[in-house]
Amino acid sequence: PLRYLCKLRNLVKKEAEKNKSQWKTMGPAKVAVPSPNDFLQKRSKEPKLAPKKKEEDGKKLLPLSVPPRTYQPVTRIKKNFINKNAVAVMTGEPKKPRHFCVDTRQGDKYLLEPSGLFPKYIRKKNYGVLPKYVTRRNEELKREEEEYQASVLEQLKKKAMKALSEEERTNVLKALKKNWEEINHAYQGLPIVTDTSYKKLQKEELELKLKQLEHDIAAIEKHKCVYIANV
């Protein structure tokens, strides 16, 4: 059978030959040879100045800024430095003597102040004075301590014990006795035979309540002054 041939085969060949550049895969490219007259001349690469402007259409150029002959420059006043220095010495404060230290027999000496032997720092005005940040921090700590103490006192006042009056004490005692009578009545109504776990638990619970009430009644009757803490 005949093989398949594309209808656009010839068009593709023409486009390929048209777009193919010469000397692309073989041999050097054709480049124009430079002319021998275009040789590099001396100072040809130096920047060229613009030509001077000439008078055009009757217009005159501005004259140069040259001072006239009658111009007299301002001369400086001569100062007498000798008298000036003499006045400065007479009116100025005398220099303080500098402290030296001699450490050899040949008289070699050096300044005492930068050596560390001169008591320089202890003579400062702020020597031994606490820095500002330390005093500020101490004040903050003191204020925090006062606030903490005030809060502790307030908590203690809230939790302070309160003494019951005689009327309140008698009312509490009556209420406890009444409660004991009710629980005792319930305890007396229990069955004699406790054969189940529920009956045993109920009996033990009532006995514990009676013991606690008897203990509280005895404590209140024994002590005349009773204090209650505000928890």
Mean pLDDT of the chain: 83
Domain segments of the chain as ranges:
97-159, 162-228
Residue 61 has pLDDT above 70, yes or no: no
pLDDT at 139: 95
Average pLDDT over residues 6-22: 82
User: Is the pLDDT confidence value at 98 over 70?
Assistant: yes
Work out the angle between the directed axes of helices 166-188 and 197-222 (0-180°, nearest 10).
160
| pLDDT tens-digit readout, 159-175 | 777 777 888 888 888 99
CA distance 157 to 205: 37
Over residues 25-42, the pLDDT tens digits come to 566 666 778 888 888 888
Distances 19 to 12, 16, 30 between C-alpha atoms, Å:
11, 5, 18
Q: What is the pLDDT of residue 153?
A: 86
* Across 57-86, average pLDDT: 78
The Cα 48–Cα 141 span in angstroms is: 81
Residue with the two structure tokens 């430079």: 34
Do the strands 161-163 and 100-102 form a parallel or antiparallel pair, or are they unpaired? unpaired
- At residue 44, the pLDDT reads 86
Residues shown for the chain:
231
Q: What is the pLDDT of residue 135?
A: 92
Provide the pLDDT confidence category of residue 230 given band limits of 50, 70 and 90: low
pLDDT of residue 94 exceeding 70, the answer is yes
CA distance 146 to 131: 23
CB 82 within 8 A of CB 88: no
5: pLDDT confidence band, cut at 50, 70 and 90? confident
- What values do phi and psi take at 150, rounded to 5? -65, -40
Give the whole-angstrom CA distance, residue 178 versus residue 213.
Answer: 10
Helix residue ranges, H only, 119-165: 132-158
